[in-house]
Amino acid sequence: DVKVTQSSRYLVKRTGEKVFLECVQDMDHENMFWYRQDPGLGLRLIYFSYDVKMKEKGDIPEGYSVSREKKERFSLILESASTNQTSMYLCASSLYYEKLFFGSGTQLSVL
Amino acid sequence: SQQGEEDPQALSIQEGENATMNCSYKTSINNLQWYRQNSGRGLVHLILIRSNEREKHSGRLRVTLDTSKKSSSLLITASRAADTASYFCATDGTGNQFYFGTGTSLTVIP
Instruction: Measure the CA–CA gap between A79 and A77, rounded to whole angstroms.
Output: 6
Side chain identity, residue A22: E
Coil, strand or helix at A85? helix
Note whether B3 contacts A104, CB cutoff 8 Å.
no
How many pairs of residues across A and B have Cβ atoms under 8 Å apart? 59
Which pLDDT tens digit goes with each residue over B43-77? 999 999 999 999 999 999 999 999 999 999 999 99
| Number of CB atoms found within 10 A of residue A73's CB | 16
Whether residue A70 contacts residue A100, with contact meaning beta carbons closer than 8 Å, is answered with no
Which among A31, A58, A105 is the nearest to B42, CB-wise? A105
CA distance B30 to chain A (A): 10
Closest alpha carbon within chain B to A2: B44
> Above 70 in pLDDT, residue B3?
no
CB contact under 8 A, B96 and A103: no
Tell me if chain A has a CB within 8 Å of the CB of B88.
yes
Structure confidence at residue B77 (pLDDT):
97
Interchain contact B87–A (C-beta under 8 A): no
Answer yes or no: do B48 and A98 touch at CB < 8 A: yes
Give dist(CA B47, CA B110) in Å, integer: 25
Q: Quick one: pLDDT at residue B1?
A: 53
Question: What is the bridge-based pairing of β-strands B19-24 and B71-76?
Answer: antiparallel
Each residue of B16-43: pLDDT tens digit?
Answer: 999 999 999 988 889 999 999 998 889 9
Contact A91, A28 (CB under 8 A): no
pLDDT, one tens digit per residue, over A32-67 is: 999 999 988 889 999 999 999 899 999 899 999 999
CA of residue A102 relative to chain centroid, distance:
10
pLDDT in tens, A69-92: 999 999 999 999 999 999 999 999
